[in-house]
């Protein structure tokens, strides 16, 4: 497998999962700052021009964080990245999807890159504040879901890998992390660094 990855981006979450599984894979840096994701070579692999993308052993390319994470969880069941029952599994998928499509795409992106969406400086400021509000409310929701547990669900799951990258952006977007979530983030960082390839 080969992971197309940009340091500090959401592909950190997929890297987390691959290292957690302990499977060997190639890491191909597709640096967003240098515009590698817009090169003809990369667009031929992923016409959407985004990371993460995972090249599977058969040479095909899988995109979209929740889908890649789901594929990894199902392909490596021994890693137990999803619960066993369907009813519990869909709850993990529900939260993973919310983190990526809701909090990341409709929150952090607006807070980090308002200029991608509107030209006017006042409108950019408004959009940025709106994005920060979405993330702030999302953090409160994640804290509630966490409760007294070590992870969002009973065991570490793909939702934690999504939460990991989302929380990692808190300084960039200047949104405070509630205390329990900050402790949880430290736990995730520790787990990630233990398994890092
Ligand atoms: N819906 C996609 C979102 C991926 C995404 O937005 N990736 C960002 C990095 S965190 C990216 O590649 N941005 C480059 C761009 O939009 O030009 C997914 O779930 O993987």
Q: What is the pLDDT of residues 142-171, one digit of tens each?
A: 999 999 999 999 999 999 999 999 999 999
Please report, for the chain, the start and end positions of each structural domain, with discontinuous segments joined by +. 2-79, 86-195
Tell me what the mean pLDDT of segment 189-196 comes to: 91
pLDDT of residue 49: 98
The Cα 19–Cα 153 span in angstroms is: 20
Among all chains, which residue has been given the structure tokens 């408004």? Answer: 126
Number of Cβ atoms within 10 Å of the Cβ of 90? 13
The Cα 162–Cα 167 span in angstroms is: 9
The Cα 21–Cα 78 span in angstroms is: 8
Strands 2-5 and 61-63, by their bridges, are unpaired
Closest residue (by CA) to atom 1 of ligand 1? 64
Closest residue (by CA) to atom 20 of ligand 1? 64
Asked whether residue 197 carries a pLDDT value surpassing 80, the answer given is no
Determine the atom of ligand 1 nearest the C-alpha atom of 52.
Answer: 20
The reply to whether 86-195 shares the fold of 2-79 is no
CATH numeric code, 86-195 = 1.20.1050.10
pLDDT of residue 196: 83
pLDDT of residue 137: 98
To test the pocket of ligand 1, the residue of 33, 37, 50, 62 to mutate (highest count of ligand atoms within 8 Å of its CB) is 50
Contact status, residue 176 vs residue 140, Cβ threshold 8 Å = no
Supply φ then ψ for residue 153, to 5 degrees.
Answer: -120, -170
CATH 2.170.130.10 fits 2-79, yes or no: no
Asked whether residue 83 carries a pLDDT value surpassing 90, the answer given is yes
Distance 50 CA to ligand 1 centre (A): 5
Distance 52 CA to ligand 1 centre (A): 7
Closest residue (by CA) to atom 11 of ligand 1? 50
Kindly state the tokens that stand for 75: 């392909």
Query: Which amino acids bring their CB within 6 angstroms of ligand 1?
Result: 9-10, 32, 37, 49-52, 64-65, 100
pLDDT of residue 195: 86
């Amino acid at each position: 497998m080969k992971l197309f990855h940009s340091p500090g981006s959401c592909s950190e979450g997929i890297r987390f999962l691959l290292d957690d599984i302990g499977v060997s894979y190639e890491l191909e840096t597709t640096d967003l700052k240098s515009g590698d994701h817009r090169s003809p070579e990369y667009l031929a692999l992923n016409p959407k021009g985004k990371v993460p993308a995972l090249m599977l052993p058969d040479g095909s390319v899988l995109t979209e964080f929740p889908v890649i994470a789901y594929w990894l969880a199902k392909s490596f069941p021994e890693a137990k990245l999803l619960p066993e029952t369907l009813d519990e599994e869909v709850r993990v998928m529900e939260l993973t999807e919310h983190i990526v499509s809701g909090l990341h795409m409709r929150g952090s992106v607006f807070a980090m890159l308002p200029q991608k969406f509107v030209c006017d400086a006042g409108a950019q400021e408004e959009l940025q504040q709106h994005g920060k509000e979405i993330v702030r409310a999302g953090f409160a929701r994640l804290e509630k879901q966490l409760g007294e547990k070590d992870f969002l669900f009973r065991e570490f799951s793909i939702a934690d890998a999504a939460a990991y990258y989302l929380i990692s952006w808190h300084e960039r977007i200047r949104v405070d992390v509630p205390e329990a979530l900050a402790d949880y983030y430290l736990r995730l960082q520790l787990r990630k660094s233990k398994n890092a390839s």
